[in-house]
Amino acid sequence: MSDSIALERQTMEVDIVCVGFGPAMGGFLTTLSRGLVREDGAPLHESRSAPGLPLQVICYERADDVAFGVSGVVTRARGIRATFPDLDPSEIPLAASVAREKLVYLLDPVGASRRSATLMLADRLIRACRRALPTEDEALVLPHIPSFLRKEGGLLLSLGQFTQWVGAKLMASGAVQIWPGTPVATPLIEEKRVVGVRLIDQGTDRHGNPEAGFMPGMDIRAALTVVGDGPVGPIGRQLDEHFGLPEGYHQREWAVGTKMVVDLREDVELEPGTVLHTFGYPEPEIFGFMYVYPDQVASVGIFVPSWFESPIRASYRYLQHWMLHPYLWRYLQGGRLRSWGAKTLQESGRRGEPHLAGDGYARIGEGSGSTNVLTGSGVDEAWTTGTLLAEGVLGLLREGQPFTKEHLERAYVERRRGSWLEAESRVAGRARDGFQRGVLTGLLGMAVAGLTRGKLAVPGDPTPPHARVPSAEAYYRGKISGEEIARIRDECASRGLSLHDALMERCGWPAIPYDGKLLVSHQDALLLGGKVQAPPGYADHVVFLYPHLCETCGTRICIETCSGQAITPGESGLPAFDREKCVHCGACLWSCSQPRPGDLERTNIEFRAGTGGLHSAEN
């Protein structure tokens, strides 16, 4: 043991090191790899790090497989189709062309939803006019879907299957290497230049101290570091901390998406390619989706946004209530859970865009602010950022130019500014601001922004999520007394449970009728649908930076919102974290109600590089 602990940290030189294999990196590596070889297969560019060999491009992915992304995707697929003009959806499992779209407003069939007076009035009107309106099963099907929300001619994808398909093509090309199961811990920054990355230490205890089999994470030095590790990725976030965001930019809007892949009953007649989007229930702030794939499979899920001012953003529980809504349950009843997952969405869009390039590095994908918050589209946009960067990088390689800030600005950032991506993200820029003032105002704001192509918007001032978390006492005022909340809190703490089930049921949410197939306990979903794993020998990646803030925290929303029940009540008020249950959704990172001392844009939770997570390839 002692000799292994004495191991020196090793260094490896490559030409381009990439962090995170998602759609953006898929776009980058696909475009790049095609430009690295001649038609006869001979390499076009010689490696500078390993002279005599072709350009050495290596990509590290945290998850145990390149297929473990979480997202039910409906996309116009313009960027993806530009890369694969002959794309045949039948080549990719679970892919289908969009056949029909519906936008549905869900009424509250149980009476437990928190609706404003205006919304309740609207609900009453809808119910009163239900013979005249297109209503069915406690839902109003909107007769018209605004063009900016439509995905006509687009694709339904399973992100896991899509990245697996892309990854296999890339590996077969032999031009690039992708290594899953290898989290990247930190960027290597020398003065103002990113010179590579450091991989995570292996063989440590949960605090990161060396143990038997310790192997310090290797330093991978590269002329170019491409960062596409998503909205909660540690490298992107550390670069943001180090270099700051451009003046006036911030990342204050987030959401957690929770989804399931479901085997539908044999007799459910839904055409593959059917897209349902819902709003209004289980809480007005929560949006839902159902995408129908071939072979009686559907992807269903909800988004719980950071502007849902509740101390219990319990997405798993809300997803179950959403599924039980009569409009959806008629399809889902008798179905079987195949897989389940959760992920954070960065919803600041253009306003959350970091510095896209600097000396030795470039940012792509969702973490680079590419998500279009008006059209609710992110995968194709992320893909496109990758292809744009690859085109720029190939140009610089041809010119023999180094990857400096100046060159990357010209080759990548300017290219991105001139693309459809930029034009559309400007339209979307302020589209969601109205949600800061309520759901109806938000919906109105989206319509205004969409219909005027971004010229007009309903104003709103996004505040950091931690400023939007009320105490349970304030949230439930008039429904549950302070004394009762205190009693429930004590009871739950003594049993190591989160509060949300008790509080929701006390407010009229019915207990979930578990059926062991689709409606299963949160714990069973982790095993049955998520196959969460955490290989031993790594440090905890969720860290409560200032324990005293947790001890005095009134809400502990991290426990309530945790998608994997990995954060639970712990000793003396400090939440306990169980790495084996974490699905790496990152909801705790932005949901935390405690601002970080000295940095009010961040919270008391740090989400570091970590291994494991979901083991499902079809999310």
Contact (CB, 8 A) for 76 and 380: yes
441 Cα distance to chain centroid: 25
Q: Distance between CA atoms of 614 and 585, rounded to whole angstroms? A: 10
Q: Distance between CA atoms of 270 and 82, rounded to whole angstroms? A: 29
514 is an interface residue for another protein by CB under 8 A: yes
Nearer to another protein (CB atom), residue 150 or residue 169: 169
Nearer to another protein (CB atom), residue 427 or residue 520: 520
What tokens appear for 597 in the block? 């001392």
Instruction: Tell the smallest beta-carbon distance from residue 126 to another protein (Å).
Output: 36
Nearer to another protein (CB atom), residue 185 or residue 428: 185
Nearer to another protein (CB atom), residue 467 or residue 576: 576
564 is an interface residue for another protein by CB under 8 A: no
Q: Distance between CA atoms of 437 and 435, rounded to whole angstroms? A: 5
- Applying CB under 8 A, among 153, 174, 482, 510 the residue interacting with another protein is 174
Q: Distance between CA atoms of 363 and 129, rounded to whole angstroms? A: 51
Instruction: Tell the smallest beta-carbon distance from residue 424 to another protein (Å).
Output: 32
Q: At what angle do helices 23-34 and 159-173 cross, to 10 degrees?
A: 20
572 is an interface residue for another protein by CB under 8 A: yes
Taking CB under 8 A as the binding criterion, the range among 229-237, 275-283, 303-311, 522-530 that sits at the site for another protein is 522-530
Taking CB under 8 A as the binding criterion, the range among 39-47, 148-156, 213-221, 409-417 that sits at the site for another protein is 213-221
What tokens appear for 12 in the block? 């490896």
- Report how many residues bind another protein under the rule CB under 8 A: 62
218 is an interface residue for another protein by CB under 8 A: yes
Instruction: Tell the smallest beta-carbon distance from residue 7 to another protein (Å).
Output: 11
Strands 210-215 and 202-204: antiparallel
Instruction: Tell the smallest beta-carbon distance from residue 507 to another protein (Å).
Output: 21
Taking CB under 8 A as the binding criterion, the range among 23-31, 80-88, 203-211, 316-324 that sits at the site for another protein is 203-211
334 is an interface residue for another protein by CB under 8 A: no
Instruction: Tell the smallest beta-carbon distance from residue 602 to another protein (Å).
Output: 27
The number of beta carbons lying within 10 Å of the beta carbon of residue 52 is: 6
287 is an interface residue for another protein by CB under 8 A: no
Instruction: Tell the smallest beta-carbon distance from residue 159 to another protein (Å).
Output: 13
568 is an interface residue for another protein by CB under 8 A: yes
SS3 of 474-527: the string is HHCCCCCCHHHHHHHHHHHHHCCCCCHHHHHHHCCCCCCCCCCCCCCCHHHHHH
Alpha-helical runs (H) found in 343-401:
379-399
Instruction: Tell the smallest beta-carbon distance from residue 180 to another protein (Å).
Output: 6
68 is an interface residue for another protein by CB under 8 A: yes
Nearer to another protein (CB atom), residue 181 or residue 554: 181
Instruction: Tell the smallest beta-carbon distance from residue 178 to another protein (Å).
Output: 6
Backbone Cα Rg of the chain: 24
459 is an interface residue for another protein by CB under 8 A: no
Taking CB under 8 A as the binding criterion, the range among 107-115, 202-210, 235-243, 551-559 that sits at the site for another protein is 202-210
Instruction: Tell the smallest beta-carbon distance from residue 505 to another protein (Å).
Output: 15
Q: Distance between CA atoms of 23 and 14, rounded to whole angstroms? A: 22
Q: How many residues does the chain have?
A: 619
- Applying CB under 8 A, among 96, 178, 235, 304 the residue interacting with another protein is 178
CA angle 321, 324, 326 (to 5 degrees): 130
Backbone phi and psi for residue 476, each to the nearest 5 degrees, phi listed first: -100, 10
The dihedral over CA atoms of 366, 370, 376, 380, expressed in degrees to the nearest 10, equals -80
What is the rounded end-to-end Cα distance, in angstroms, of the chain?
40
Taking CB under 8 A as the binding criterion, the range among 177-185, 375-383, 399-407, 446-454 that sits at the site for another protein is 177-185
Q: Distance between CA atoms of 521 and 512, rounded to whole angstroms? A: 9
615 is an interface residue for another protein by CB under 8 A: yes
233 is an interface residue for another protein by CB under 8 A: no
Residues 489-508 that bind another protein (CB under 8 A): 494-496
Q: Distance between CA atoms of 446 and 455, rounded to whole angstroms? A: 12
With 0-12 / 13-18 / 19 or more C-beta atoms within 10 angstroms meaning exposed / middle / buried, residue 249 is middle
Taking CB under 8 A as the binding criterion, the range among 26-34, 347-355, 464-472, 518-526 that sits at the site for another protein is 518-526
93 Cα distance to chain centroid: 22
Residues 585-614 that bind another protein (CB under 8 A): none
The number of beta carbons lying within 10 Å of the beta carbon of residue 469 is: 26
SS3 of 136-160: the string is ECCEEECCCCCHHHCCCCCEEEEHH
Three-class DSSP category at 283 = coil
Write the CB contacts of 364 (distance below 8 Å, at least 6 apart in sequence).
Answer: 24, 25, 27, 28, 226, 227, 228, 370, 382, 385, 386, 389
- Applying CB under 8 A, among 16, 19, 55, 66 the residue interacting with another protein is 66
Taking CB under 8 A as the binding criterion, the range among 35-43, 115-123, 210-218, 222-230 that sits at the site for another protein is 210-218
Taking CB under 8 A as the binding criterion, the range among 97-105, 369-377, 566-574, 599-607 that sits at the site for another protein is 566-574
Residues 143-172 that bind another protein (CB under 8 A): 161, 164, 167-168, 171-172
Instruction: Tell the smallest beta-carbon distance from residue 420 to another protein (Å).
Output: 32
Residues binding another protein (CB under 8 A): 10, 12, 58, 64-68, 93-94, 161, 164, 167-168, 171-172, 174, 177-182, 199, 202-203, 205, 211-213, 215, 218, 220, 338, 494-496, 514, 516, 520-521, 523-524, 527-528, 531, 533, 535-537, 568-572, 576, 578, 580, 615-618
